[in-house]
Chains A and B, each alone.
Chain A
């Protein structure tokens, strides 16, 4: 009685099928910033805490005469950062090259895979466990093997960064692309939109908040992996400086590098926070 040719599976409104319409927000990102804006008082309090901690550490280390090779004072670290910066700067450059190229490769592949794979729910189900494995396995473990194959240059590090950041970007972006809002797709289709137009004008903007979260987590994992890979082998990069400075007991320089790494991580966070504010603020 029912012509199977004519049956179709386009669900209508009431039911939100597929990945559902779970809302994501960048609030996980802004957990550290607790809200959008801060009052002068709050900023003052944050600076005050920093001054107390740094000043307190400086004072304690001096009064108890803690030797420099155990823990250098904050002022010694700052001095080392400035006086030795010209030694450290080239290594910062190497780390950035590895991070940026590995991340560019990993993130683009991750984004493309996420966009394509979510269009084919069956393929996605098959591939999902493997992606999860890539996400949960520390890619650092592969570095010794990569060094064997590619030597002590950039290659093993770039590959490790790509392998660490790509799956992170992919798994988050895929979550974003899975958020189908059937009503919005129907709206586009009612004006005759093509599949490509629906993708660009509905699916991508819909996925954008999750994509940005994925790009941020991917970048941070990339940084961790780059530094870790540099510690495993090769004569350059900030990670390599950490191993060198600690083996030669140059503690102020060692902590100066740590400080640079912390600033790198914070910059990544701030960049993506601002991107999220500009492109994904409609979500909250």
Chain B
């Protein structure tokens, strides 16, 4: 009777299937993956290395085509990069020959907009993530966490409605990662962007998400969907609660027993 009002799907992935063509034959990376991400939702895609997470995200960003299936944004098929969708890459992927300010202005340059018209907004974003004052620093002068914060500001600079994040904190140490997770949740609560976040870290997925899409090993399929209903804003103390442990363990058991055979796990680790 008092069922939650259904939120419309912002993103829909419909039977996404992808084969890569390589010299040694076809690589089946993604198989019939379907999912919906609601407007303003924080969703995670969780799966072992090499299961096709990046492949999925690249299709959603319009960076490469699917062999079969499609991606819909507000019911419109995404076939090429879309201005409403911004991507945060594995590793920060800053341009090393540009300083921080110039890195963040990069999207404006590509869109042929005058960065000066956006200075205030960019400044606010930099302040928000604690990078104000570092505008003239080059990426190599910034720590890994700072680089990733810069990458988030860059992705937000054009004010997209969807943020696709590909294991953005995978290369960070555990403390910095926690810090980044907290910051990301705060930013998400403030902006209510639709976020699809990729990770192979179960605890990270549970901490951040409203929903978790668990993928099977290659070829990646949707294995299970978990709802996560810890209250927001979350803080690190929830990671030590029994409920959190339970959830992490349950997902872990799923992945260990059903999804990856031991041999495949080794192959995936090597990748």
- B95 close to chain A: CB less than 8 A: yes
The winner among A191, A192, A282 for most chain B CB atoms within 10 A is A191
Chain B interface residue count, Cβ-Cβ cutoff 8 angstroms:
39
Q: A9–B21 contact, CB under 8 A?
A: yes
A-side contacts of B91, CB under 8 Å: 183
The 8 Å CB contact of A12, one of B21, B64, B81, B95, is B64
* Chain A, range 172-229, C-beta contacts under 8 Å to B: 183-184, 186-193, 197, 201-202, 205-206, 208
| Interchain CA distance A283-B139 in the complex, whole Å | 11
Interface string of B204-221 (1 = CB under 8 A from A): 000000000000000000
A184 and B68 contact, Cβ closer than 8 Å, known pairs A2-B19, A282-B138: no
Q: B58–A12 contact, CB under 8 A?
A: yes
Majority DSSP secondary structure for residues of B touching A: loop
- A42 close to chain B: CB less than 8 A: no
Q: Which of B7-15, B104-112, B173-181 touches A?
A: B104-112
Write the chain B residue with the least CB distance to A6.
B67
Q: Which of B37-45, B82-90, B251-259 touches A?
A: B82-90
Q: How far is the CB of B95 from chain A (nearest CB, A)?
A: 6
A-B contact pairs, 11 of them (CB 8 A): A6-B66, A12-B54, A14-B50, A186-B63, A187-B89, A189-B63, A192-B111, A201-B106, A202-B95, A205-B95, A208-B97
Binding site for B on A (CB under 8 A): 2-3, 6-14, 183-184, 186-193, 197, 201-202, 205-206, 208, 282-283
A-side contacts of B106, CB under 8 Å: 187-188, 191, 201
- B61 close to chain A: CB less than 8 A: yes
Q: A12–B55 contact, CB under 8 A?
A: yes
Q: How far is the CB of B11 from chain A (nearest CB, A)?
A: 15
- B148 close to chain A: CB less than 8 A: no
Q: How far is the CB of A87 from chain B (nearest CB, A)?
A: 47
Q: B64–A10 contact, CB under 8 A?
A: yes
Interface string of B47-89 (1 = CB under 8 A from A): 0001000110010011111111000000000001101011101
The 8 Å CB contact of A191, one of B89, B93, B95, B111, is B111
B-side contacts of A188, CB under 8 Å: 106, 110
| Interchain CA distance A6-B20 in the complex, whole Å | 10
Q: A14–B271 contact, CB under 8 A?
A: yes
The 8 Å CB contact of A192, one of B55, B83, B95, is B83
A184 and B107 contact, Cβ closer than 8 Å, known pairs A2-B67, A6-B66, A190-B87: no
Q: B21–A7 contact, CB under 8 A?
A: yes
Q: B96–A282 contact, CB under 8 A?
A: yes
Q: A186–B58 contact, CB under 8 A?
A: yes
| Interchain CA distance A33-B109 in the complex, whole Å | 37
| Interchain CA distance A192-B55 in the complex, whole Å | 19
The 8 Å CB contact of A201, one of B50, B86, B110, B111, is B110
Q: B63–A10 contact, CB under 8 A?
A: yes
| Interchain CA distance A208-B96 in the complex, whole Å | 12
Interface string of B86-125 (1 = CB under 8 A from A): 1101110101110000000011011100000000000000
A-side contacts of B107, CB under 8 Å: 191
Write the chain B residue with the least CB distance to A5.
B65
| Interchain CA distance A3-B90 in the complex, whole Å | 29
The 8 Å CB contact of A193, one of B61, B68, B110, is B110
Q: B96–A192 contact, CB under 8 A?
A: no
9 tightest CB-CB pairs across the interface, nearest first?
A191-B110, A10-B64, A282-B97, A190-B87, A282-B96, A205-B97, A7-B21, A191-B107, A193-B110
- B158 close to chain A: CB less than 8 A: yes
Q: How far is the CB of A157 from chain B (nearest CB, A)?
A: 37
| Interchain CA distance A128-B19 in the complex, whole Å | 33
A-side contacts of B85, CB under 8 Å: 190
Q: B64–A184 contact, CB under 8 A?
A: no
- B140 close to chain A: CB less than 8 A: yes
A-side contacts of B86, CB under 8 Å: 190
| Interchain CA distance A229-B87 in the complex, whole Å | 56
The 8 Å CB contact of B93, one of A183, A189, A205, is A183
